[in-house]
């Protein structure tokens, strides 16, 4: 803090010296080269002042305050908010070092393919279905919509009437955030289903079931719950945790279950095999055999979807298109099957138009896309 | 949504006085003014939402400049401009992350603001003299350029400097010595 005050003091001294055409003293906070640069810009450089003026003209304080005011008066959910962080997306062709900057070109099409939104179907213990969106004002006996997420209340007294299991179903083109009764937060990706008790029984592991799909868990520590572990069960594996953040990906049409650990420690088991994961590692459980493979990964890529990004790292076009199809809810048809194996890298903001990505892929001259309604043909 | 630290009016005043400088500052990192504006707005929104506990009801420039810097660096990292050898790397990020960049740009922006305000606070006949003298012109040369008597130039300069003195003195006290806990 004192350091910063000294910088401000220096700025003041420099302005005085320049206005009075005096010499500028040296300072430990500014090397000679930078000092000369600042002095020259401020004193004689009219292009510096012109440029500054041009930029300042592009800033409308009153208008931008309105934007800020709107956001702070009507708070958005954190997840939604994260989408804005990655404004520009850059696509890089994996095998050559070319990259293209996205341009906001829109092609007019009769049927618009749009990015997904926050939506889910909540299936209550009695089979009743509730459609939820970001704007829902759902208030139930034990859960309600708060800040665009579904929050379970730990305080309510479970009895035979209201206890039981709920299921949250996320369709294609959807995503959703739920906070379970123990405070654990779960981000659910498109085409996923999560089953969980409305309240966990004390003295037993807190168990939820990822029926299929992808989910990112931020688990509250066992120490806050009398030592009760947290367990994520999928069709072919179990993940046991003590309080941590991790991502589980178990899609129906994929042969493997991927569990990536961001923070903490988890135990993965399949049949009789058990492996522990440390942060930055991913386990791959194959549906066909009883092996758990563990490998190092870039966790940022793995949980990118949660931050509102697609990040592809040397990804075959087929896998890439499958992932995109879930979010944009489109059907992918490879007319030229050979193209399925083409490998690309790049990233995309999940709020962006899919056409931007396709156009940039086309610029590589390796693939051609044709959009007809909700189908994308790859040639 | 209420923030116990400031009223909306106070927050607006802080925004209005510091937003342009912070945008200029963010622009030195992201080199795109519309992105810069978005990032600075996000910083303000986050401060409001995070219930920052303030010992005083004022935000420091230090806190804002540092938050904006961090936000810009995060943004540049999220862009993930990658090179082919699989290393995640944003070009020149280490230079931008350095203290030297931070110090230089803060000083330049703050000094520009002071000089700009100072010049604008003067009546034109005085500001002309100061501007030319900033360009290292002698009193004699200024007198020639403005077709004035050299003694008039000297007198104008004297009055101008007198007028500027209070402005250059008390400038920062508004923002100094306030400590913030997150």
**Residue A162: pLDDT band by 50, 70, 90 thresholds?**
low
- Alpha carbon dihedral A53, A56, A62, A64, in 10-degree steps, equals 160
**Domain A84-112+307-378: top CATH class:** alpha beta
**Residue B154: pLDDT band by 50, 70, 90 thresholds?**
very high
Q: In sequence order, what DSSP letters do the residues of B91-115 get, joined into one string?
A: TTHHHHHSHHHHHHHHHHHHHHHHH
Place of tokens 């579904």: A150
Domain B122-182: assigned CATH number: 1.10.10
pLDDT of residue A337: 86
φ/ψ of A126, rounded to 5, equals -90, 10
Task: Report the residue of chain A nearest B114, measured CA to CA.
Answer: A15
Sequence spans of domains, chain A: 2-57, 84-112+307-378, 117-297
Domain B1-98: assigned CATH number: 1.10.1740
Distance CA(A121)–CA(A138), nearest Å, equals 12
A325: pLDDT strictly greater than 70: yes
- CA nearest B40: which of A367, A61, A274? A61
The residue count of chain A comes to: 379
Q: What radius of gyration do chain B's Cα atoms show?
A: 21
Place of tokens 């300072």: A27
**pTM, rounded to two decimals:** 0.48
What tokens were used for B177? 């010595």
Task: Report the residue of chain B nearest A74, measured CA to CA.
Answer: B1
Residue A254 DSSP label: -
Distance CA(B5)–CA(B2), nearest Å, equals 9
Residue A307 DSSP label: G
Angle at A364 between CA A360 and CA A365, to 5 degrees: 115
Helical axes B99-121 vs B150-169, angle rounded to 10°: 120
> In terms of C-beta distances under 8 Å and separation of at least 24 residues, what long-range contacts does A363-366 make, across chains too?
A363/A100, A364/A93, A364/A98, A366/A93, A366/A339, A366/A342
More confident: B84 or A63:
A63
Give me the percent of chain A exceeding a pLDDT of 70.
86
Distance CA(A68)–CA(B37), nearest Å, equals 11
Surface of B (21-60) touching A: CB under 8 A: 23-24, 27, 32-35, 37-38, 41-42, 44-45, 48-49, 60
Distance CA(A142)–CA(A135), nearest Å, equals 19
The 10s digit of each residue's pLDDT in A88-117 is 233 333 322 222 222 222 233 345 678 888
Provide the strand spans (E) within chain B: 53-54, 180-181
Going by C-beta distance under 8 Å and a sequence separation of 6 or more, which residues neighbour residue A90? A99, A100, A101, A102, A346, A347, B79, B80, B81
Strand partners, A242: none
Region A268-272 average pLDDT:
87
ipTM score assigned to the predicted complex: 0.81
Query: Given CB atoms, is B62 within the 8 Å cutoff of chain A?
Result: yes
Q: What radius of gyration do chain A's Cα atoms show?
A: 26
A377: pLDDT strictly greater than 50: yes
pLDDT of residue A81: 37
CB contact (8 A) between residue A41 and residue B108: yes
Strand partners, A174: A117
Strand partners, A369: A378
Sequence spans of domains, chain B: 1-98, 122-182
Strand partners, A293: A284
> What average pLDDT does the structure give for chain A?
80
**Residue A231: pLDDT band by 50, 70, 90 thresholds?**
very high
CB contact (8 A) between residue A55 and residue B135: no
Please check whether the domain covering A117-297 is classified as CATH 2.60.120.1440.
yes
Q: In sequence order, what DSSP letters do the residues of A190-205 get, joined into one string?
A: SSEEEEEESSPPTTS-
Tell me the CA end-to-end span of chain B in Å, nearest whole number: 19
Which of A30, A298, A313 is the closest to B107 by Cβ? A30
CB contact (8 A) between residue B80 and residue A10: no
The 10s digit of each residue's pLDDT in A19-76 is 888 888 888 888 888 988 898 888 877 788 888 989 999 999 999 999 999 888 765 4
pLDDT of residue A163: 63
DSSP-derived 3-state class of residue A319: helix
What tokens were used for A206? 């807190």
Task: Report the residue of chain A nearest B161, measured CA to CA.
Answer: A20
Burial class (CB in 10 A: 0-12, 13-18, 19+), A306: buried
Interface test with B, best of A2, A12, A44, A95 (most B CBs within 10 A): A12
A6: pLDDT strictly greater than 50: yes
């Amino acid at each position: 803090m004192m350091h910063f005050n000294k910088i401000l003091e220096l700025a003041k001294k420099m302005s005085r010296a320049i206005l009075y055409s005096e010499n500028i003293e040296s300072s430990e906070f500014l090397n000679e080269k930078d000092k000369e640069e600042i002095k020259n810009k401020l004193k004689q450089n009219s292009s510096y002042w012109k440029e500054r003026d041009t930029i300042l003209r592009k800033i409308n304080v009153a208008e931008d305050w309105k934007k800020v005011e709107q956001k702070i008066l009507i708070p958005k959910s954190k997840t939604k908010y994260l989408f804005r962080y990655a404004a520009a997306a850059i696509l890089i062709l994996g095998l050559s070092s070319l990259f293209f900057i996205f341009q906001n070109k829109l092609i007019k099409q009769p049927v618009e393919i749009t990015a997904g939104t926050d939506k889910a179907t909540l299936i209550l213990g009695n089979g009743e279905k509730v459609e939820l969106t970001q704007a829902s004002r759902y208030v139930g006996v034990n859960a309600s919509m708060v800040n665009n997420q579904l929050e379970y209340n730990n305080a309510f007294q479970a009895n035979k009437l209201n206890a039981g299991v709920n299921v949250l179903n996320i369709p294609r083109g959807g995503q959703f955030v739920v906070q379970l009764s123990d405070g654990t937060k779960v981000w659910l990706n498109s085409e996923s289903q999560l089953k969980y008790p409305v309240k966990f029984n004390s003295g037993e592991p807190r168990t939820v079931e990822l029926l299929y799909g992808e989910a990112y868990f931020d688990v509250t520590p066992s120490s806050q719950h009398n030592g009760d572990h947290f367990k994520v069960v999928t069709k072919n594996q179990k993940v046991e945790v003590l309080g941590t953040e991790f991502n589980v990906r178990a899609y129906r049409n994929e042969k493997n279950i991927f569990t990536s650990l961001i923070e903490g420690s988890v135990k993965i088991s399949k049949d009789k095999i058990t492996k522990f994961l440390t942060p930055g590692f991913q386990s791959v459980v194959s549906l066909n055999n009883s092996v758990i493979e563990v490998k190092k990964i870039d966790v940022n890529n793995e949980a990118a979807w949660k931050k509102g990004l697609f990040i592809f790292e040397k990804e075959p076009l087929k896998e890439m298109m499958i992932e995109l199809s879930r979010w944009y809810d489109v059907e992918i048809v490879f007319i030229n099957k050979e193209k399925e194996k083409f490998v690309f890298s790049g990233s995309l903001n999940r709020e962006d138009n899919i056409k931007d990505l396709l156009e940039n892929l086309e610029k590589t001259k390796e693939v051609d896309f044709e959009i007809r309604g909700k189908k994308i043909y790859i040639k | 949504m209420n923030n116990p630290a400031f009223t909306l009016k106070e927050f607006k005043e802080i925004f209005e006085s510091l937003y342009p400088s912070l945008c200029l500052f963010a622009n030195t990192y992201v080199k795109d003014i519309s992105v810069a504006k978005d990032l600075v707005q996000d910083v303000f929104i986050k401060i409001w939402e995070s219930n920052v506990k303030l010992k005083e009801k004022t935000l420091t420039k230090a806190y804002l400049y540092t938050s904006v810097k961090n936000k810009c660096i995060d943004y540049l990292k999220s862009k993930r401009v990658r090179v082919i050898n699989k290393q995640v790397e944003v070009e020149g990020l280490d230079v931008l992350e350095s203290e030297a960049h931070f110090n230089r740009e803060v000083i330049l922006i703050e000094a520009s603001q002071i000089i700009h305000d100072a010049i604008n606070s003067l009546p034109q006949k005085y500001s002309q003299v100061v501007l030319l003298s900033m360009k290292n012109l002698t009193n004699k040369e200024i007198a020639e350029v403005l077709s004035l008597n050299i003694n008039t130039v000297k007198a104008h300069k004297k009055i101008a400097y007198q007028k500027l003195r209070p402005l250059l003195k008390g400038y920062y006290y508004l923002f100094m010595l306030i400590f913030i806990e997150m």
